[in-house]
Amino acid sequence: MYFMFKENPSTGYKLVVDTQALNGTMTVDSTFSSQNVTVDGVNMVGTSGMRLFTVTSVKEGSGVFRLHYANPGNYDSSWDTYDSSAKWSFPVQVLPIVSKGGVDIKMHIDPPFMMPPSTCFNTTCKEGQVMSPIDCSCSDFATACPV
């Protein structure tokens, strides 16, 4: 699965994965791509961009892909200590791969239901979209998480 969020790590804060909540059922890799803003032909530093998370299943079971918007140096991985506007979660059930006639059967994944951060209460996403917990923008779930 793929998840993409806007981020500006130059602020000292970034999206941090709660690896304990993965419960050993999946691994997560991430890459950051800045917007490459230029002024008078000079690349600017400290610009925002997009962080792409790649979630890969490694064994059958249940886990939660959790993100905290936190300062990595002060991160204590305690879900309850973070304000709801600074965290996001997506429960995952990793099922065994089922093959029929040599073809893997893919399971349909519904978009996550989440309570938007308090700063996003005036924003509503369309059906089939997910909301970024950072800037309240909406993205098509199928685009962010291709099956």
Give per-residue pLDDT as tens, 74-125: 777 677 777 777 788 888 888 776 666 665 544 444 444 444 555 566 777 7
**6, 24, 18, 147: which is closest to 90 by C-alpha?**
18
Q: What is the CATH number of the domain that holds 26?
A: 2.60.40
**Contacts for 140-146 with beta carbons within 8 Å, 24 or more apart?**
141/111, 144/2, 144/3, 144/4, 145/1, 145/2, 145/3, 145/109, 145/111, 146/2
Q: What is the pLDDT of the chain when averaged over all its residues?
A: 74
Which range (21-25, 40-44, 114-118, 129-133) has the least confidence? 114-118
Q: Which residues on adjacent β-strands are paired with residue 7?
A: 49
Number of domains the chain is built from: 1
pLDDT at 73: 78
Would you place residue 28 in the very low, low, confident or very high pLDDT band (cuts 50, 70, 90)? Answer: very high
**Whole-number percent of the chain with pLDDT over 70:** 73
Region 127-146: what's the mean pLDDT? 65
What does the pLDDT average to over 18-44?
Answer: 82
Question: With contact defined as beta carbons under 8 Å apart, do 90 and 3 qualify?
Answer: yes
Side chain identity, residue 25: T
- Give the residue with greater pLDDT, 39 vs 68: 68
Q: What is the pLDDT of residue 71?
A: 80
Q: What percent of the chain has pLDDT over 90?
A: 2
Q: What is the pLDDT of residue 79?
A: 75
For 72, phi then psi, to 5°, come to: -55, -30
The answer to whether 119 and 85 are in contact (CB under 8 A) is: yes
Lowest pLDDT segment from 52-61, 65-74, 89-98: 89-98
Residues in the chain: 147
Predicted confidence at residue 121, as pLDDT, reads 66
**What residues make up the domain containing 62?**
2-144
Strand, helix or coil at 3?
strand
- Where does residue 127 rank: exposed (0-12), middle (13-18), buried (19+ CB within 10 A)? exposed
d(CA 25, CA 61): 6
